[in-house]
Amino acid sequence: MSKYWSDLVSELKPYVPGEQPKMPNLVKLNTNENPFGPSPKAIAAIKAELNDGLRLYPDPEGVALKEAIAEYHVDFGISPNQVFVGNGSDEVLAHIFQGLLKHDKPILFPDISYSFYPVYCGLFQIESAVIPLTDSFEIDPNDYKRDNGGIIFPNPNAPTGRYLGLGHIEDILQSNPDSVVVIDEAYVDFGGDTAIRLVNDYPNLLVSQTLSKARSLAGLRVGFAVGNPELIEALNRVKDSFNSYPLDRLALAGAVAAFEDKQWFEDSCNGVIRERERVTKELEALGFEVLPSKANFVFTRHPDHEGADVAAKLREQGIIVRHFNKPRISDFLRITIGTSDQNNALIKGLAAL
Ligand SMILES: *Cc1c(COP(=O)(O)O)cnc(C)c1O
């Protein structure tokens, strides 16, 4: 606290990002980064931008990237004016909260969900009502049939990894024609089906995605949203009142190349999915309960061991996983799927406990 702070800043409860430890040789399975690395074509495209051209501002609209994203989703009839791009999907989400979810009525999101949502509500002074997941940690569409100022949840959900089928998403969209329904698809490429295919049927649907997870570019900071041009226009208005150049020249070049390299992307996602299935079986063999996951992590608990305790003991072995000290999930660990060597180290470490 300081007398120089605004009242708003004094009251903020900021998001705490997963730890990025400096020690070398850690098995780092705590922040859902992709172990297979970005497309070499993306790296080459970034290197090609490292020249005198950096004296010039980047394209404020990111047109080349919007075109690449529209082209990637051409089967769903997406055009560039239905795409918004930003500095990581966290920034895109911030603009969504401010531009599309701030109304008189409270917005709805699950009790166990991405912990940035309540932080944005604090920053932008948005009322919220938290909807409990079912006992099996699923979203029940019937719980979202009540008066609201908007709806947002990740699909697959984080940190549970559970995926909600598009039929249920359509149910929520149809029950809420006067609200924007935001589907945060940070993890959809690891086995889920994207709601982008529904965008042309529902003017109230906005889908956000990131290049941080499936495209392994967390360090580049690129995210995007796809929806009706009317919704996209709201985001452009917020962006151009905040930062006209959210994506620099390197990020734009790397992101375009990442979208063009479909083969690398698909191989990487398949590699994560294969390892996820293997890790799940091995955890179950050790007596862990593992929620069904369509993400690049698993959410798991052991009936005889406390989550915090297991996380602390893994840490002593140089293996970092994420534990949330929160109601309902304090027994659980969220474990990112790593390379097969990292996953072997994890299983060996847990077996030793
Ligand atoms: C990782 C993550 C994001 C943020 O991604 P960035 O593009 O890196 O900002 C958004 N939503 C969820 C649910 C995530 O897990």
Q: Whose CA is closest to atom 12 on ligand 1? A: 186
Q: Where are the beta strands (DSSP E) in 172-236?
A: 181-184, 205-210, 223-227
Residue 17: per-residue pLDDT: 85
How many whole angstroms separate alpha carbon 290 and alpha carbon 190? Answer: 17
Name the residue among 66, 42, 33, 92 with its Cα closest to residue 250: 42
DSSP letter for 157, please: -
Which atom of ligand 1 approaches the CA of 114 most closely? 13
To test the ligand 1 pocket, which listed residue (89, 163, 217) has its Cβ within 8 A of the most ligand atoms? 89
Name the residue among 152, 216, 218, 217 with its Cα closest to residue 185: 152
Q: Whose CA is closest to atom 1 on ligand 1? A: 186
Domains of the chain: 18-38+263-352 (3.90.1150.10), 40-260 (3.40.640.10)
- Predicted TM-score (pTM) of the model is 0.97
Percentage of the chain lying above the pLDDT 90 cut = 97
The predicted model gives 28-44 an average pLDDT of 96
Name the residue among 260, 353, 265, 264 with its Cα closest to residue 314: 353
> In 10 A of CB 4, how many CB atoms?
6
Rounded to the nearest whole angstrom, what is the distance from the C-alpha of residue 156 to the centroid of ligand 1?
Answer: 12
How many whole angstroms separate alpha carbon 68 and alpha carbon 257? Answer: 9
Is residue 3 over pLDDT 90?
A: yes
Residue type, 269: C
Residue 25: per-residue pLDDT: 84
The predicted model gives 307-330 an average pLDDT of 94
Rounded to the nearest whole angstrom, what is the distance from the C-alpha of residue 234 to the centroid of ligand 1?
Answer: 21
DSSP letter for 183, please: E
Question: At 1, is the pLDDT very low, low, confident or very high (cuts 50, 70, 90)?
Answer: confident
Rounded to the nearest whole angstrom, what is the distance from the C-alpha of residue 152 to the centroid of ligand 1?
Answer: 13
Rounded to the nearest whole angstrom, what is the distance from the C-alpha of residue 186 to the centroid of ligand 1?
Answer: 6
Which residues, judged by CB distance below 6 Å to any ligand atom, belong to the binding site of ligand 1? 88-90, 114, 154, 158, 184, 186, 210, 212, 218, 223
Print burial letters for 116-132: b (CB count within 10 Å at least 16), e (below 16): bbbbbbebeebebeebe
pLDDT digits (tens, 9 = 90+) for 89-127: 999 999 999 999 999 999 999 999 999 999 999 999 999
Residue 23: per-residue pLDDT: 81
Rounded to the nearest whole angstrom, what is the distance from the C-alpha of residue 154 to the centroid of ligand 1?
Answer: 9
